Amino acid sequence: MLEVNDFNAIRLSLASPAQIKSWSYGEVTKPETINYRTLKPEKDGLFCEKIFGPTKDFECYCGKYKRVRYKGIICDKCGVEVARSKVRRERMGHISLAAPVTHIWFAKGVPSRLGLLMDVAPRTLERVLYFAHYVITEVNDEARQYALEQLQLEIEEEVSRRESEASSHIAVREASLVQELTEIERKRDAELASADAELPGLIDEVMGEARSLEEDLQERVGEKLRAKLAFRGETLATRGNEISADTISALHDAATQQVAEVEEGIAQRKTDLEESAEAATQQKRDEAFEELEPLRTQVAEVRTQVRKENEDLVKRLEKLRDPVEADALTVLTEQEFRELDERFGLVFKAGMGAEAILGILERIDLDNLREKLQGETQSASGQRRKKATKRLRVVEALRKSGNRPDWMVVRELPVLPPDLRPMVQLDGGRFATSDLNDLYRRVINRNNRLKRLLNLGAPEIIIRNEKRMLQESVDSLIDNGRRGRAVSGSGNHKLKSLSDLLKGKQGRFRQNLLGKRV
């Protein structure tokens, strides 16, 4: 048993997973404490004698070895070492967690040490740790560069495709316009030719009628008209008038007038045809312009439009940076992650929770980071300099103490010796137990459930939820109520966590150690 009675100070440090395992005498795998029938500790439970030592001095669990003469012997039947029961005050166990969890002191403390080390806001870090957002853990720069080049090629191909499509529509519409205009001209020319062809016939008809009437009048010169003489509706002489040379002259004038009217009618018809064809042509041109102008604008703006459509994707791809090399975390929402993963799954790796943060912390080189921050404190000014100084303080503290950043993530959870979290039988057969036992039980139950789900190959969303619950249960064990609602026991009483045992007036330091004869 460790006995140190002469010391000047205590230094708290981070423990590595290997160190936690070296302290441990065995893994606690069951949430049970004692068997309520036999009142003996359950094997592999929170009070297991095999892990923490015998409950009675120099007596193993099964009773095969009793008395001090067997001291140090490990029973081959029950596996309990024969020793003093006092060892149950110092022997620790451990819980091997199915998924890493962050230590709440370093994640939620003020200032957040994890947040400072990785240069990320505590709220953003919390979203990653509790499975709300993804974080980029690794970026393949070669693959990213190749993906950017491919994206540029895709943009050019899309530009060419759209330009070609629009140009094709323009060509088709222009050809259609030419065809329509040709058809209008053909119809106009045909109708003009028809009008020209009609004219001689109409003139011949007028002249024929005039000749016939003239011959009749020539034979009857000197006679009196028995009725009114008219030519195509125009009166030449009234009834009773004598047929004379003047009458024939009037006929010639009337025939000439009729021919002039026929020619004028044909000329007017041809003018109307020309105007109608011109109007139809202009209408077709206007219709084509209305259709073609948007297409021509589209061709002119297609490159800008395609680049604008892909601008967000290009920016997001350019922003993808390795968190260690760039010394900056890139956080993605679920939607953003799915979109990027679908297109550029080979370019980057992303994750959620403490597991993703652990992967980044393991790759951090404290010496390189220190040099970078020292340069920043000298070159930067104002807020940036202040932030760099804070970060440098954390980095230097880790370097000088020999601690690794990834030790802030818990993989092996130490279990306190059972006599420091006792279970006492009360009158009437009831038991009073330390709150720590309830908090440890929650951790073990969730850890075992997560292990079982991982073995079964459960869906990602269920695994993720279970990992979040494990993180929350470890948070409650270390510092209940620091984040979210505090875990309560029976009677709505807030369970006392490890931090509660140490801090405040009733804590271990002020209540039992400071100012006492230690």
Q: What is the pLDDT of residues 335-346, one digit of tens each?
A: 989 988 888 888
Q: Average pLDDT, stretch 202-221?
A: 73
Q: What is the pLDDT of residues 406-416, one digit of tens each?
A: 999 999 999 99
Per DSSP, what are the bridge partners of residue 94? Answer: 27, 414
Q: What is the pLDDT of residues 308-332, one digit of tens each?
A: 777 777 888 888 888 888 888 889 9
pLDDT the model gives residue 441: 95
**In whole angstroms, what is the distance from residue 448 CA to residue 201 CA?**
112
pLDDT the model gives residue 514: 80
10 pLDDT more than 80: no
pLDDT the model gives residue 463: 96
How sure is the predictor about 448, in pLDDT bands with cuts at 50, 70 and 90? Answer: very high
Q: What is the pLDDT of residues 150-163, one digit of tens each?
A: 888 888 888 788 77
Residue of 136, 126, 69 whose CA lies nearest to 102: 126
pLDDT the model gives residue 3: 56
How sure is the predictor about 233, in pLDDT bands with cuts at 50, 70 and 90? Answer: low
* Domains of the chain by residue range: 146-317
Please state, as a whole number, how many other Cβ atoms lie within 10 Å of the Cβ of residue 227. Answer: 8
Strands 24-27 and 234-237, by their bridges, are unpaired
How sure is the predictor about 1, in pLDDT bands with cuts at 50, 70 and 90? Answer: very low
Q: Average pLDDT, stretch 440-460?
A: 96
DSSP 8-state code for residue 82? -
% of the chain at pLDDT higher than 70? 94
**In whole angstroms, what is the distance from residue 231 CA to residue 93 CA?**
136
Please state, as a whole number, how many other Cβ atoms lie within 10 Å of the Cβ of residue 5. Answer: 5
Do the beta carbons of residue 396 and residue 7 sit within 8 Å?
no
What's the whole-model pTM score?
Answer: 0.74
pLDDT the model gives residue 518: 54
Three-state SS for 356-407 is HHHHHHHHCCHHHHHHHHHHHHHHCCCHHHHHHHHHHHHHHHHHHHCCCHHH
pLDDT the model gives residue 298: 73
